[in-house]
Each structure stands twice: as structure tokens, then as C-alpha cells.
């Protein structure tokens, strides 16, 4: 995820944000979310009582009441809700996935659940060779969305039906024609996805799908892993493809942790919050890894990297320092990944891979430090 995904949030400088994350558990009754929002309202009322003018406090409480009264927010078990409120307006963002019930009143919003979601639910494309046509899909929140479709010509249909029983020169000629058709499909897909960098999964009847995996000129074609050959329904296609994407993400996260360990051995990593915070504001982080479930409450100086910590969130000025480091790192162009606590190296809450010294020098010469304030 980079700083262009949520520009409105990253550029917000004034006001206070209330972040609310509702649970998404199929066994939960929708009214439990409504009850949770009532609990949030009560606690926020106490937090605001001593720090805000009555009109400001009423504004925030009224926003929570709107959520409690709107069934679109609490009756859909497929969606979590991240709500960001400041004194100048309200934004909301709904997304599929799972995060624990959580809310925080702070001078910045909490980005970790969103980072985790966007990374673990990365969109992908599917090119599926059916019996009569080839379809190009994009993964949607609930089902695959058809982008484009091309029917087979009669000659391609004839070659597909003849391939199984063809031998020798005849089979080679048919294979050459199917290769040319697959190359054409590859060009068609590359044109449709020319500005994309999301994974492309190949599926469908084997004579064409296996060729496409080999021939495809699209850089992000998934060539290893499960072979989704055969005739699949759209639901089956999405479910099997999602499993393959999940496996790729698991593998990538393992590689990222391995790269951190390797770079730590070279002295090119930071493994404590103080070092990471200094590196973040100094634009020296290449990749940041943070724990999804850990929170370190305190206040970060986004110009010096100094901070104070508290055992709990004492006031609305306290924020999750892991979250703050993620925001600063993103603003400076670093890659940020939110991992399960069990995946973090040595069970640490935050670690970073630093930029090589030469790149640090070049970076400082190219542009000034970009500071992110909330």
C-alpha cells in the first residue's frame, strides 16, 4: 500500500478522528454490533467530557448515534467499518474481511486494519478458457466481475475437438495453431491490463490454459501453484483463485521476514521502536513490518522521532505509535506490511528494513523530508 491510496486521510492536519472497527463474525447477531456502538458512545462521551467544548462533544456523539440508527452499518455481517470523523466532516469506508472490535479516539486515524486488509485482500484478475469462449474477470468484493470476453472461432473449436485424437504431424500443426491463438489472447489480455500490476490467474480447459501460463506476456501472470484446469463455475473459480492468491501472499510474507533477518545480519535493519521511529522520520525505511494486534500508546514527534509511551490510552492525544510509524513511513514512500503477531520476527511489535546507505544519500539529495502530521 502506498500514500496514494488514502490521500484524504493522509493529508488531514486538523481535527480529531474517531476510528471504529466493527466485528465481522458470521455467528454474531447483527444487534451485537448495535450494542457495541452504544458502548462506544458511552466511553467516547467520558473521554470527551474534560477535553472538548459541549458543542464539539455533541457532534461526535451525534455521529455515533447515526451509525447506531442506520442498519446499513451494523446489520451487514460481511463488512467491517472504519469511520473517520473530524470537526470539518465525516468519511466512512466499508470493506470485507475480519478485524477485532476496536475503537480509538485520537488526533489521527488508525491505519493498521486497512493496511492488513488491502494486503491480504489484494485484487487479482482471472483469464478463464471455457468451452466456447475465453473470459477475463476481476475479483470483486462478493463475486467475480466480467471485464471482457472473446468467443472462439470455428477453426479454434475444431482444433480443440481434434487435438485429443491427433498424432504426429497433424498434432504438431494443431498445436502450432493453438499456440498462435494463445499468443493472440495474451496480447488481448496485455492490452486490457496494460496499466495494471495485480496478479493474473489462468484457468479453464487445459489445452489453452496450460499454453497461456507458458506464453502469457503479462508480467504478473501466476505461473506456479495450483493448476485450475477444467470447467469451473464462477463461484468455484473465485474460491479456488482466492486460495491461490492467499498462498502467494503467505509465501511473500515469509520471504519479507526472511529478508529482514538477512538484512539484520548485515546491520541494515532496526528492531526496536526507538530506532524505527527515528528511521521513519528520517526517511531511512525501505520496508516496515508491524504487528496487527499489538498497540503501544503514546505520542510521537513526527519531526524528531522522539516519543513518550503510556501503558494505556490516557487521552485523545495518545495514539498507537505503531500506527504513527506506519503513516510516516508510507508518506515517505516505504512499503508497509501488517502481519499476524505470530509472524513477526522474534515476536517483536515492529521492525524495519533500512535503505542501503547509498540510496539514503541519493534520496536526501533528490527531495526534502516529507512530514506527515495529523
Give me the pLDDT at residue 151, please. 95
- Of residues 90 and 310, more confidently modeled: 310
369 part of a folded domain = no
| One domain for residues 149 and 222 | yes
Torsions phi, psi for 12 (to 5 deg): -70, 130
Q: What pLDDT band is residue 193 in, cutting at 50, 70 and 90?
A: very high
CATH code of 239's domain: 3.30.420.60
Q: 228: burial class by Cβ within 10 Å (0-12, 13-18, 19+)?
A: buried
Last residue of a domain, one of 44, 75, 106: 106
Q: Which residue has the cell 455467528?
A: 27
pTM (2 d.p.): 0.67
- Per-residue pLDDT tens digits for 234-269: 889 988 998 898 898 999 999 999 999 999 999 999
b/e string for 143-161 if b means 16 or more Cβ within 10 A? ebeeeeeeebeeebeebbe
- Per-residue pLDDT tens digits for 31-83: 677 777 888 888 878 777 765 667 777 877 887 888 778 776 666 544 555 56
- Per-residue pLDDT tens digits for 275-306: 999 999 999 999 999 998 888 888 888 889 89
313 part of a folded domain = no
Q: Compute and round to an integer the Cα radius of gyration of the chain.
A: 25
Q: What pLDDT band is residue 94 in, cutting at 50, 70 and 90?
A: low
Last residue of a domain, one of 203, 219, 252: 252
| One domain for residues 134 and 225 | yes
Asked whether the beta carbons of 241 and 126 are under 8 A apart, the reply is yes
Cα angle 176, 177, 178 (rounded to 5 degrees) comes to 90
Q: How far is residue 51 from each of residues 44, 54, 63, 160, measured CA to CA in Å?
A: 11, 10, 18, 73
Last residue of a domain, one of 252, 283, 312: 252
Torsions phi, psi for 297 (to 5 deg): -85, 140
Asked whether the beta carbons of 185 and 127 are under 8 A apart, the reply is yes
2 part of a folded domain = no
| One domain for residues 167 and 230 | yes
73 part of a folded domain = yes
| One domain for residues 130 and 206 | yes
Asked whether the beta carbons of 137 and 144 are under 8 A apart, the reply is yes
Count of the separate structural domains present in the chain? 2
Distance CA 183, CA 118 (A): 32
Provide long-range contacts, Cβ within 8 A and 24+ apart, for 254-262: 256/287, 256/289, 256/337, 257/289, 257/339, 257/343, 257/344, 257/345, 259/287, 259/353, 260/287, 260/289, 260/345, 260/351, 260/353, 261/345
| One domain for residues 129 and 102 | no
| One domain for residues 32 and 150 | no
Distance CA 36, CA 40 (A): 6
Per-residue cell: 176 = 502450432
314 part of a folded domain = no
Distance CA 364, CA 372 (A): 17
185 part of a folded domain = yes
| One domain for residues 239 and 136 | yes
C-alpha torsion sign, points 233, 236, 242, 247: negative
Of 70, 72, 59, the closest CA to residue 15 belongs to 59
Q: Which domain does 197 fall in, by range?
A: 125-252
Percent share of the chain, pLDDT over 90:
39
| One domain for residues 147 and 179 | yes
The whole-angstrom distance between residue 103's C-alpha and the CA centroid of its chain comes to 20
| One domain for residues 129 and 187 | yes
Average pLDDT, stretch 13-41? Answer: 65
Distance CA 134, CA 147 (A): 11
| One domain for residues 209 and 165 | yes
Four-point Cα dihedral 231, 232, 237, 239, nearest 10: -140
Average pLDDT, stretch 10-16? Answer: 52
| One domain for residues 243 and 156 | yes
| One domain for residues 185 and 226 | yes
182 part of a folded domain = yes
329 part of a folded domain = no
Mean pLDDT (the chain) is: 80
Judged by DSSP in three states, 209 sits in helix
* pLDDT of 221 strictly over 80: yes
C-alpha torsion sign, points 108, 113, 115, 117: negative
Give me the pLDDT at residue 178, please. 95
Amino acid at each position: 500500500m502506498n500514500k496514494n491510496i488514502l490521500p484524504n486521510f493522509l493529508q488531514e492536519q486538523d481535527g480529531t478522528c474517531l476510528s471504529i472497527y466493527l466485528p465481522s463474525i458470521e455467528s454474531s447477531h447483527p444487534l451485537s454490533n448495535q450494542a457495541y456502538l452504544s458502548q462506544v458512545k458511552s466511553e467516547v462521551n467520558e473521554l470527551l467530557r474534560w477535553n472538548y467544548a459541549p458543542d464539539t462533544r455533541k457532534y461526535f456523539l451525534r455521529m455515533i448515534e447515526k451509525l447506531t440508527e442506520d442498519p446499513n452499518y451494523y446489520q451487514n455481517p460481511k463488512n467491517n467499518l472504519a469511520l473517520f470523523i473530524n470537526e470539518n466532516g465525516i468519511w466512512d469506508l466499508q470493506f470485507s474481511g475480519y478485524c477485532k472490535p476496536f475503537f480509538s479516539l485520537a488526533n489521527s486515524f488508525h491505519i493498521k486494519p486497512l493496511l492488513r486488509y488491502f494486503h491480504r485482500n489484494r485484487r487479482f484478475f482471472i483469464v478463464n478458457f471455457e468451452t466456447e469462449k475465453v473470459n477475463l474477470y476481476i475479483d470483486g468484493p462478493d463475486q467475480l466481475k466480467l471485464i471482457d470476453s472473446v468467443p472462439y472461432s470455428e477453426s479454434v473449436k475444431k482444433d480443440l475437438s481434434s487435438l485429443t485424437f491427433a498424432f504426429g504431424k497433424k498434432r504438431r500443426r494443431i498445436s502450432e495453431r493453438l499456440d498462435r491463438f494463445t499468443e493472440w489472447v495474451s496480447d488481448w489480455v496485455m492490452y486490457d491490463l496494460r496499466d495494471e500490476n495485480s496478479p493474473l490467474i489462468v484457468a479453464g480447459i487445459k489445452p489453452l490454459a496450460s499454453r497461456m501460463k507458458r506464453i502469457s506476456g503479462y508480467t504478473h501472470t501466476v505461473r506456479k501453484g495450483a493448476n485450475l484446469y477444467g470447467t469451473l463455475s464462477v463461484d468455484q473459480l473465485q474460491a479456488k483463485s482466492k486460495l491461490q492468491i492467499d498462498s502467494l501472499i503467505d509465501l511473500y510474507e515469509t520471504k519479507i521476514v526472511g529478508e529482514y533477518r538477512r538484512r539484520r545480519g548485515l546491520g541494515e535493519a532496526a528492531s526496536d521502536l526507538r530506532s524505527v521511529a527515528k528511521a521513519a522520520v528520517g526517511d531511512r525505511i525501505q520496508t516496515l513490518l508491524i504487528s496487527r494486534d499489538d498497540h503501544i500508546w503514546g505520542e510521537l514527534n513526527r519531526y524528531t522521532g522522539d516519543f513518550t509511551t503510556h501503558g494505556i490510552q490516557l487521552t485523545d492525544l495518545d495514539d498507537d505509535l505503531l500506527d504513527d510509524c506506519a503513516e510516516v513511513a508510507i508518506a515517505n514512500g516505504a512499503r508497509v506490511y501488517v502481519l499476524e503477531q505470530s509472524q513477526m520476527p522474534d515476536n517483536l511489535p515492529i521492525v524495519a528494513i533500512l535503505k542501503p546507505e547509498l540510496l539514503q544519500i541519493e534520496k536526501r539529495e533528490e527531495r526534502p523530508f516529507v512530514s506527515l502530521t495529523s
